[in-house]
Structure 1
């Protein structure tokens, strides 16, 4: 399954829309997860324009006070929507892959820097997953959390990330999730001058998902 996940930092500009449409087309995307849309509403025509096709299903979470907005989209010839759960920091879409006749859950994730919000999100996602019988799970997006100290470089503040690291790793381990390999650049976020960088965007999958797509990356 080909999934595009992208912290777009505002969906209003035409350049970003064209860039996203180019990625979707070039990669043959079947599902798209966007974070930080920074818009209150999304129209059908906007989703069709972003994908370059009108056979698109979508769900939008507008966020709070202009922040935390997310958009999940899927091509209806590749993914059949069944139901969803949505809340602060996530859109969980349940459905089936057409070509594999396989039920799965794709969760679009975005959480701000506040550790309290991160812990709340981890708990809620854990509860959602534990209450489901589905085994093919993919959680992707901007988790805004690191797993080890070397995943954040150049930060000028003296924040102790011990609690974040311990909590995030526990969330991953407790839910039997695997961190898919990153190819290309090691870090997923850079500040404007490149002096600070971190790995905060990632894709977490279950063992069953990784077993189905062995070259998952």
Structure 2
């Protein structure tokens, strides 16, 4: 734990890969945010070869369009620049957003900003390429909750495809025949055909 963040370390059971989720709650002042971003950067540098996710209320925007109904000042410009520098320096990516473009609303709803987000490393994107952040309806808080989901739709059996140029390669047909013969599967004819085709696809 630190001033403005809580870190959870864990491991993915299937791959035994280390994973870190950092829940962020940034202060309002830019000076405090700079301290926070520096501490988070040092934390990430100290633990390499892990999957990282930074999520929560960063209390900062990345571009002008992420704030409405609030006058922009020089401090806002500095904040955007420093926040984007933090993201770039740590090689973070923002996963696709689904839902409302803003996550914070004042009491009358006229002022709104995109203060909450989910930032991840490339390793996270490789592990969960279909990951998205979904903005929920605002309930008790003046912030909207964000839910991260990984949606991997199963569209059914994938067709078996081949490339005609492969058949022009010397020894290709022999290789396929040898592989086909090497698969020993005890089942009915239909299952044997299906299993052999599946194994042949990954050669």
Q: TM-score, normalised by structure 1?
A: 0.58
Q: Aligned equivalents of 1:157 and 1:182: distance in 2?
A: 24
Spell out the pairing of 1:31-70 with structure 2 (5 A cutoff). Answer: none
What do residues 57-93 of structure 1 show as CA deviations (whole Å, max 9, x unaligned)?
xxxxxxxxxxxxxxxxxxxxxxxxxxxxx11011111
Q: Which has the larger radius of gyration?
A: 2
| 1:101 alignment partner in structure 2 | 16
- 2:57 maps to which of 125, 133, 142: 142
| Structure 1 unmatched ranges of 5 or more | 1-85
- Structure number having the greater helix percentage: 2
| 2:179 alignment partner in structure 1 | none
| 1:204 alignment partner in structure 2 | 119
Equivalent pairs, count: 132
Q: Aligned equivalents of 2:112 and 2:71: distance in 1?
A: 11
- Structure number having the greater strand percentage: 1
* Superposed displacement of residue 157, structure 1: 6.9
2:46 paired with 1:131: yes
2:77 paired with 1:162: yes
| 1:195 alignment partner in structure 2 | 110
Q: Secondary structure at the match of 1:161?
A: helix
Q: Aligned equivalents of 1:149 and 1:88: distance in 2?
A: 27
* Superposed displacement of residue 97, structure 1: 2.3
- 1:120 maps to which of 11, 35, 53: 35
* Superposed displacement of residue 193, structure 1: 1.4
| 1:181 alignment partner in structure 2 | 96
Q: CA RMSD in A?
A: 1.5
* Superposed displacement of residue 94, structure 1: 1.3
Does the Cα contact within 8 Å between 1:96 and 1:102 map onto a contact in 2? yes
What do residues 77-135 of structure 1 show as CA deviations (whole Å, max 9, x unaligned)?
xxxxxxxxx11011111111234432110101001211011000000000010111233
| 1:9 alignment partner in structure 2 | none
Q: TM-score, normalised by structure 2?
A: 0.62
Q: Secondary structure at the match of 1:95?
A: strand
